[in-house]
Amino acid sequence: MPFVSAAGPAEELIDQGIRRGLEGNYQDAIDHFSRAIRLTPRNADAFYNRGLARVSIGDLTGAIADYSMSISLDPRSSGAYNNRGFALAALGRYAEALADMSRAIALRPDMAQLYNNRGTIRMSIKAYALAIADFTRAIALDPLLAGAYNNRGLARNLSGQLQGAVADYREAVRIDPRYKVAWYNLGNAHISLGDAKEAVEDYSKVLVLDPGMLVARNNRAFARLSLGDYKGALEDLNLVISKSPQDAAGWYNRGVVRKLAGDRQGAIEDLRRAAAFGDSLAVEALREITSRDSMPP
């Protein structure tokens, strides 16, 4: 939920705090909201907004206390219940988080985003059927809510409904063609279905939107590899390594591709680099390759 303004004697301080928060000056925002609270101790909006700012600096316990005060002063604040629910979930307090989300929904049963939010928390506890029901309700209320399609796709994917997941991801990117996470999830689902060609196209769309998303480039490399496109796979992994040279996984993955492409020496060099970074899989792969040198003809 966004920052909200408030009426009353502390209005100017709250408005200034909101501006500081929108600028990213969260501690300054907290100071303004705290001053407003000292002037008007029963100002629900001041506590609500301070809770938002505290979340932004990672003070979840302080945020929960502020949202609780806001709720005690304004028991019909669906936003405060929603936000407290997310903060509780971030601390692993899922039962309390779900109770808050359900209270928010009871106050605003027509608000699609609240069902979407409760669904994400249900996914955290692997209650996939209930999460799917929440995302489905969100979609019924707002058929253009791309995030709900993406989230339902994730829940369906995790519960083994791969075809349904693909349909949901496709709808998400139809609504929002720049939704890179949905494109990425679609690529992963196509990999799970054994459709590497479609996966390459999906990851390519991600990389047009975000060329620096290395996990998509890494996954495209292995999709290309499964299609026999060693050159394309190596191009992707070369870039992964250049952007993240301290990551053992990149060296290991390129070593595997080089081995399959017949570049034994290149594979050994890459696997040695990965092993030097502590990759146990690289150590095993190196042992397998180099043991052949000592085998009798």
For 159-198, what is each residue's pLDDT tens digit? Answer: 999 999 999 999 999 999 999 999 999 999 999 999 999 9
pLDDT for res 296: 47
Q: Which band of pLDDT confidence, cut at 50, 70 and 90, is reported for residue 143?
A: very high
Residue with tokens 């907004």, as numbered in its chain: 49
What is the Cβ-side half-sphere exposure of residue 108, based on CA atoms within 13 angstroms? 21
How far apart are alpha carbons 230 and 75 in whole angstroms?
A: 61
pLDDT at 292 over 80: no
How far apart are alpha carbons 32 and 127 in whole angstroms?
A: 40
Domains with residue ranges and CATH for the chain? 9-109 (1.25.40.10), 230-296 (1.25.40.10)
pLDDT for res 1: 56
Residue with tokens 């979930």, as numbered in its chain: 89
pLDDT at 248 over 80: yes
- Scored b (16 or more CB within 10 A) or e, 89-123 reads beeebbebbbebbebbbebbeebbbbbbbbbbbbb
How far apart, in Å, are the Cα atoms of 202 and each of 171, 180, 196, 286? 14, 9, 10, 33
- Average of per-residue pLDDT values in the chain: 94
pLDDT for res 260: 93
pLDDT for res 112: 98
Q: Which band of pLDDT confidence, cut at 50, 70 and 90, is reported for residue 10?
A: confident
pLDDT at 293 over 60: no
Please answer whether residues 148 and 116 qualify as being in contact, where contact means their C-beta atoms are separated by less than 8 angstroms.
yes
Q: Which band of pLDDT confidence, cut at 50, 70 and 90, is reported for residue 270?
A: very high
Residues contacting 63, CB < 8 A, separation 6+: 51, 52, 54, 55, 83, 84, 87
Considering the chain, what percentage of its residues have pLDDT values greater than 90? 93
pLDDT at 121 over 90: yes
pLDDT at 115 over 80: yes
pLDDT for res 283: 95
DSSP secondary structure string for all residues of 97-163: HHHHHHHHHHH-TT-HHHHHHHHHHHHHTT-HHHHHHHHHHHHHH-TT-HHHHHHHHHHHHHTT-HH
How far apart are alpha carbons 153 and 169 in whole angstroms?
A: 6
pLDDT for res 6: 46
Burial group, residue 287, by CB count within 10 angstroms (0-12, 13-18, 19+):
exposed
Q: What's the whole-number mean pLDDT along residues 271-295?
A: 86
Can you give the C-alpha Rg of the chain in angstroms?
A: 25
